[in-house]
């Protein structure tokens, strides 16, 4: 009697996620060096105070700070705009304030990405009330198609299409921040809708 072969169970695995490189690490570093020269040219010899928006802006802040000659200090702030939701609520909440006063300082707000602009509008209003000498904005990525609030950055690394990006500080469910490049996240079928960036 022939031995019957066991039927192989059909795989139920679906391709989950993949990241397609959008901006290489080398291009990012080259552009950051150019932004650093531009910022220092605008404020020659002046102490600069960089403020990073946690968590995504940390990579950009550290590389930018190391590229700017002269006196540079920095601080961190954290806000929440959509909590556990997969889309921006439009409501921005301060979750970690600055450690020191910015009154009389030349402040550069350092953001990973400018998307809807709701977070940046909130931060600029907050910081203007604290009377800095100058207030400027540097963003690594600008996604103008998604803009809701009427805000703009003074220094822009790259203008990008309306795609969900990860890497170089940007995350999806707290993953991918450590990638040395910026990539477009491609989700497999059946996965949850991509969360909104802000």
Pairing verdict, β 93-96 and 106-114: unpaired
Catalytic residue from among 63, 115, 171, 198 = 115
CA distance 177 to 173: 10
CA distance 80 to 64: 24
List the beta bridge partners of residue 184. Answer: 20, 165
Instruction: Determine whether 198 is an active site residue.
Output: no
Q: How many CB atoms lie within 10 A of CB 120?
A: 25
List the beta bridge partners of residue 185. Answer: 19
Query: What is the set of active-site residues?
Result: 115
């Amino acid at each position: 009697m022939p031995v019957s072969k066991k039927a192989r169970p059909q795989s139920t695995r679906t391709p989950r996620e993949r990241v397609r490189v959008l901006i290489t690490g080398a291009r990012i570093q080259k552009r950051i060096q150019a932004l650093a020269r531009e910022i220092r040219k605008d404020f020659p010899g002046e102490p600069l105070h960089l403020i990073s928006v946690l968590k995504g802006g940390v990579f950009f802040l550290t590389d930018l700070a190391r590229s700017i000659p002269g006196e540079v200090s920095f601080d961190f702030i954290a806000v929440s705009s959509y909590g556990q939701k997969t889309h921006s609520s439009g409501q921005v909440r301060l979750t970690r304030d600055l450690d020191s006063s910015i009154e009389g300082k030349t402040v550069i707000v350092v953001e990973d990405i400018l998307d809807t602009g709701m977070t940046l509008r909130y931060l600029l209003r907050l910081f203007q009330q604290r009377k800095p000498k100058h207030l400027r904005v540097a963003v690594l990525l600008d996604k103008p198609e998604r803009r809701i609030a009427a805000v703009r950055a003074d220094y822009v690394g790259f203008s990008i299409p309306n795609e969900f990006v990860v890497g170089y500080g940007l995350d999806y469910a707290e993953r991918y921040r450590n990638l040395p490049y910026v990539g477009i996240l491609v989700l497999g079928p059946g996965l949850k809708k991509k969360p909104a960036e802000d």
